Each structure stands twice: as structure tokens, then as C-alpha cells.
Amino acid sequence: MSQQGERRTSDDDWWARLYDEPAPDSSPAAAGDTLDDRFKSVAEAVSPPVPDPRAQTPYEPEDLPDARPPAPDQVLPRVPWQPPGSRARPGPARTSGWWEPSDALPPMAPPPPGYRPAVPAPPPKPPAARPTAEPPPAPPPDQPAAPTVPAPQEAAPAAPTVPAPQEAAPEPPPPPAPRPQVGHVGDRPPTYDAEPTALPNARPDGLGELVADTVLDGARYGAYVLRAASVRGDSARYRGEPRRDALLTARFGNGEDALVLVAVASGMRAFEGAHLAAADACRWIGGAIGRSHARLADDIRAGRRGDLKSGLHRLTDRSYGRLRARAAELGAEPEEYTAGLRCLLLSADPGCRTRVFFGVGPGGLFRLRAGVWQDIEPVAPEPGEISGEPVVGFGSPPSETAEGDRLTMDLHTVEPARPYIDPPAPPAEPFRFRASVARPGDTLLLCSGGLAEPLRGEPALAKELAERWAGNGPPGLAGFLADVQLRVKGYADDRTAVAVWEA
């Protein structure tokens, strides 16, 4: 019957003939032709015969060459717990075969109860010299004292000796004072949390447009140390908006001829792509500076302020022209796709301490000297101060004299209506430029509006940063980031700061 309980019939014999009754091999050899048989024949042909370990008996001492029984008075090897000179056999000698593991040998006899291995005694100490009854006289202050031999514990206590004067070891420098951990300054804590809450929205085909929450950089060249940081504001962290501030640090050239550029740009608050405009502004001004870095570095070392101001003004205007062209490509208004731009140019020459600032838009430029902050932001001219009196050959003459006499004939006619004309656009942001010579110990701070406004509006923040940065040397990258993140209630915009410590 089958496994299912069915009876076999004659029709099922074909299954047995195919799988249960192997047909004899048609080759003339009587041996089988399986894979095992072939492997065995090949192994016997290429390897020497291996004796069967089960058919052999362990070697006896009599079978080994030069094997003699030990003499009666011969001292046999003993185990640690047997007495010295023991003549008793520990047991029949037996070696393990190659097929037996090492643990197949009979174990040694267990140690007797209470056995402890002997530990060699330490060598005796040399006898100490007896102290003299009278202590040696104290040496004069200008000569070192001879070393005294300490008395052993068994001897009577000797008279106290005057310790010899020793050279005072140089004291290690005191550790730096720990930086204060202040989360905020002011009377009340800020409204938003100090840590990021939401990430900005991302598009699958625009992942290259994403910007990090925080950017941190630093360097040391010549006679200054550079620290730069850009942090997303508390408001943008809470609402899931991207950081509108952009930061660029770049070095052009090598050696003392190198020129370091630090650019800070801030996009418009109400525009969705403000962070892209800020990044474009930094990238394009960086490219323009890099192509002219050799001449700019030479002008900075030579102190050619007039050439620097006119040249940098021209490079800045070209960058803003590219921003306006980019806005037209995107279908945005030029007033929306723009950014405030502020830059620092630093020479890598240790003998050059001229620091050049230029830019357009809001922000701040401060200097910490002798523990006091100085606002050295170039004053922008008022819109009315840009246009002056008429110049010969330019502009129009006045319609009447100073005495009130009109220079034209008044025909008392009614002026016809004119088509509506848009009012003139407000004047553009003026170009700002300043070249100053730094002193040792100064700290120059360039920042965006997110840090400049609380520095000017909250004295507690300016005081706290002055205490941290005055006289203590430049902080590390982590310490500088903690300083920039000091929060003030009512100021939740992005913060970007660039500080230069003069050696």
C-alpha cells in the first residue's frame, strides 16, 4: 500500500523499475561507478596508505627503540604535591595517538587536601646603618644640605632634622577659567525654545537648495584668529523655515600673498527663496574677489584706500546686477530676490594689519578695544544728502531767483492732464566701505542684522560678550558658537557673526 493507503497495481511497476531497481553497470569493470567510488580510487592512487588506527594497539615501552625500564634507584618525575625523591611510579606511561585529543590522557592524581604551592621567600634586606646620637649640623642657607638616611622603625626616634632647602619647581600655569553657561540675557527668557523644532520643507527635485541649520568655521593666518558662525533663528526653527543668512569663508592664493574673504548675506524676510538669493550673492562676490585677489592683496598691503573703495564698489555692483538678472529668470521682482551683503578682506601677511570692510545692506561692524565695544559701522548718507546743488552742465537751473523773480513767462494756462506715472523707486542702499588698522588685542566683529540689533538694543548682551572675549583670547569653535547663540527676548532672527582676534 502507498502512504495514502492505496493498493499498488501492476501499472505502478514502472515507478519501481525507474527508481527502486538500479540496472547493472554496462562497463566491463565489476566495481561500482559512483562518485564515492571514484574519489576513493583516486585517493588511494595519489596518497600513501594510511593505517587504520582501530587495528593498532598503543605502543608499549618494549616496542620503542632504546626503551628500558627505569632503574630502581632512579628518581622519577614527580608532581608538585609528591615529596622530593619519590620512587613511586605516577602511573603507567601512555601516549596519545594522533587521532586522540590531548584531553584523552588520564588526568593526574588530585593534590592532597590542604596542599598549597610553595612561594619563594623574598631576599633578606641589607642591615640599615645605625643613626648617630647627634644629628648633623644644619648647613648654611647658601649650601645644599647632605641627604639624611631614614631611621628604621625598630630604632629609637632621632632628633628632628632641618629639611634641606630645595629648588622650587616652576608652578604650572593656572587652568583657564570655565566659560559661563548663560542661555539668555535680559529680564525674561525668550519665547521660543533654544533647540531646533521643525525642519524646512524640501522638494524632491530641489534637494540642492537645502541649507543646514548651523554653519561653523575658523582659521588662523598671520597675526589674527578667525571665527565664523551662522545660526538659524529661533522663529525660523519653530516655524520650519530655512536659514536666510548665508556665510562664505574662502582663501585665495598661498603664503603671505593669500587673501581671506568672509562674506555674510541676508535674504529678504517675506520672500520664499530668500536663502537662495543670499547664497547667490555670496557665491558671485566670492568669484569676483577671487579673480582679482592678487591686485586686491597688493592694494591692501600698500594702503591704497581710494583704489580699494572704487574697485570693490564696482565688483559689488556687478554682483547685484547678476542678482537682478537671476530674479528676471525666476519671474520674481528685483526687490524680492535680493540680499544684504557684508564682507571682510583679510591679508595673510603677518606684517599687514589693515582690515577692509565693504558691503550693502543692514548689519553691524563693531570693535572691542580695552573691554569696550565701539560701533564703527560707516554712516550711510541720508537720501536728501545724495543730491546736491546744480552743477554747471548738469541738472536744471532754478525756476526763479532768490529774490522771487521768475525767469519764465507765466501765461496762466491750464496744464492738460498727463497719464499716470509710477512714483520713482526709493534710492538703493548705499555702498559702505571702511579700511582700519587693527591693534594687538583688538577684536573685530562683523555680523548680520540678527545680532547687530540686540547688540545695540540690549546692553546686557554687549556686556556679556565683552566679558567673554576681552583678554581671554579667542574661544574655540564650540565656545564661539555658544557665544553667538546667547538669546535675548524679542530678537529671534537668524544670526551670523564673524570675529577676528588680533594677536
pLDDT of residue 38: 80
Phi, then psi, of 266 in degrees rounded to 5: -130, 120
pLDDT tier, 232 (very low <50, low <70, confident <90, very high otherwise): very high
Is 9 a residue whose pLDDT tops 90?
Answer: no
Question: Which cell goes with 28?
Answer: 566491463
Average per-residue pLDDT in the chain?
Answer: 77
Residue 151 burial by CB count (10 A; 0-12/13-18/19+): exposed, middle or buried?
Answer: middle
When mean pLDDT is compared across 38-47, 296-305, 313-322, the lowest value belongs to 38-47
pLDDT of residue 410: 56
How far is the C-alpha of 386 from the C-alpha of 403, rounded, in Å? 27
Is 155 a residue whose pLDDT tops 50?
Answer: no
| Choice between 425 and 244, residue whose per-residue pLDDT is larger | 244
Phi, then psi, of 366 in degrees rounded to 5: -125, 160
* DSSP letters spanning 390-405: -BTTBS---SB-TTS-
pLDDT of residue 380: 74
pLDDT of residue 11: 58
pLDDT tier, 61 (very low <50, low <70, confident <90, very high otherwise): very low
Share of the chain above pLDDT 90, in %: 48
- Nearest-CA neighbor of 365 among 438, 285, 452, 431? 452
Residue-wise pLDDT tens digits, 430-467: 999 999 999 999 999 999 999 999 999 999 999 999 99
pLDDT of residue 118: 59
List the alpha helices (DSSP H) in 269-362.
274-291, 293-302, 305-330
Identity (one letter) of the amino acid at 368?
L
Phi, then psi, of 193 in degrees rounded to 5: -70, 160
pLDDT of residue 344: 98
Residues 378-404 have a mean pLDDT of 56
pLDDT of residue 296: 97
pLDDT of residue 293: 97
How far is the C-alpha of 486 from the C-alpha of 503, rounded, in Å? 25
Phi, then psi, of 267 in degrees rounded to 5: -80, 165
Residue-wise pLDDT tens digits, 395-420: 445 556 666 665 555 556 555 665 65
Contact 315, 285 (CB under 8 A): yes
List the alpha helices (DSSP H) in 138-263.
234-239
Share of the chain above pLDDT 70, in %: 57
pLDDT of residue 41: 80
Is 50 a residue whose pLDDT tops 80?
Answer: no
Is 422 a residue whose pLDDT tops 90?
Answer: no
Identity (one letter) of the amino acid at 283?
R
Residues 310-330 have a mean pLDDT of 95
Whole-model pTM: value is 0.60
- Nearest-CA neighbor of 441 among 350, 371, 343? 371
